[in-house]
């Protein structure tokens, strides 16, 4: 926006716009609200914009307001014909018209769609980048079976970043392995509906569900003997798989679940396959072991 030939007041308005809107929009998504004191609908919309902007602040969303009576030059540059008019601005350019979003849910839905398409970096994203190596360490420690150390790592990370879904997932799964099922469930129940839908949280929920389904068995010997004596005793094999799962033997659990599927894929309402899916979800979709088990399941299923 050229300032040559402008009045001092207009130049000041342009500089303020650059400072307050254009520069922040280089990395953040700016909700730009055009309004006026005499505009009733504008005043009704203000608390909605403020509440949603505050909720999305950690995702890089900020709210800026332009009074069209006081900043006529800025309003004219955006060709404002009526108010309220609300735009989403990124890297100096309007990327969406948010004017029709008059409720919190409507505005949040539009922001979610925009944020999925743009490289907006919020405070939460920056913090996640900073702690990503520590999250990886926690995962390695948990995978190695050092549950107490994993609990310590994820507990400290949770104090730093309580809304980071990877941290929450790690802390839940560490609590599950430690047998703290109530604590794990309480952590999950504190999540917002949006975060609860994310895949890494699904992984944690699957771990908790499996722990509740598959209670530890003090002595697996009798179950092993029972299955060895009658390989078609699928109930005993299913119980054995649960015991193996509870003891941390995912290979043995997967072997028995796959054997059930091979012998009777519809047994007990597809219980074996459903439990196997939970086991694979706990491992993670990118896990090499989980990929191997999926290949084994495909070989059985499509034979």
Is 42 noted as a catalytic residue in this protein?
A: yes
Q: Which of 212, 124, 115, 118 is nearest to 167 (CA)?
A: 124
Q: Strands 61-67 and 29-35, how do they pair?
A: parallel
Report CA 177 to chain centroid distance, whole Å.
22
144 neighbors 138 (Cβ within 8 angstroms): no
Beta partners for residue 94, in sequence order: 89
Set 31, 42, 48, 107: catalytic member: 42
Set 39, 63, 74, 188: catalytic member: 39
Measured between alpha carbons, how far is 1 from 13 in angstroms, rounded to an integer? 11
* Residues identified as active-site: 39, 42
């Amino acid at each position: 926006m050229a300032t040559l030939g402008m009045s001092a007041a207009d130049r000041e308005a342009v500089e303020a716009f650059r400072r307050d809107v254009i520069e922040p929009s280089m990395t953040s998504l700016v909700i730009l609200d055009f309004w006026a004191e005499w505009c009733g609908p504008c005043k009704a919309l203000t608390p909605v914009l403020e509440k949603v902007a505050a909720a999305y602040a950690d995702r890089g969303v900020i709210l800026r307001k332009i009074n069209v009576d006081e900043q006529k030059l800025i309003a004219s540059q955006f060709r404002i014909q009526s108010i309220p008019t609300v735009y989403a601005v990124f890297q100096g350019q309007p990327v969406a018209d948010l004017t029709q979003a008059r409720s919190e849910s409507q505005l949040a839905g539009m922001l979610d769609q925009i944020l999925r398409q743009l490289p907006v970096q919020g405070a939460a994203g920056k913090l996640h980048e900073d702690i990503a190596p520590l999250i990886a360490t926690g995962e390695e420690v948990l995978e190695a079976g050092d549950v107490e150390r994993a609990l310590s790592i994820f507990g400290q990370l949770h104090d730093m970043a309580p809304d980071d879904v990877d941290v929450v997932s790690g802390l839940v799964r560490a609590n599950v392995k430690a047998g703290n099922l109530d604590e794990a469930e309480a952590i999950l129940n504190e999540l917002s509906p949006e975060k609860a839908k994310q895949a890494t949280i699904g992984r944690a929920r699957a771990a908790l569900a499996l722990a509740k389904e598959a209670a530890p068995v003090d002595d697996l010997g009798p179950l092993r003997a029972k299955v060895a004596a009658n390989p078609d005793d699928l109930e005993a094999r299913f119980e054995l798989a649960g015991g193996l799962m509870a003891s941390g033997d995912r290979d043995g659990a997967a072997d028995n679940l796959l054997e059930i599927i091979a012998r009777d894929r519809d047994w007990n309402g597809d219980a074996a396959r459903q439990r196997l899916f939970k086991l694979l979800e706990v491992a993670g979709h990118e896990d090499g072991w989980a990929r191997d088990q999926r290949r084994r399941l495909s070989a059985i299923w499509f034979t």
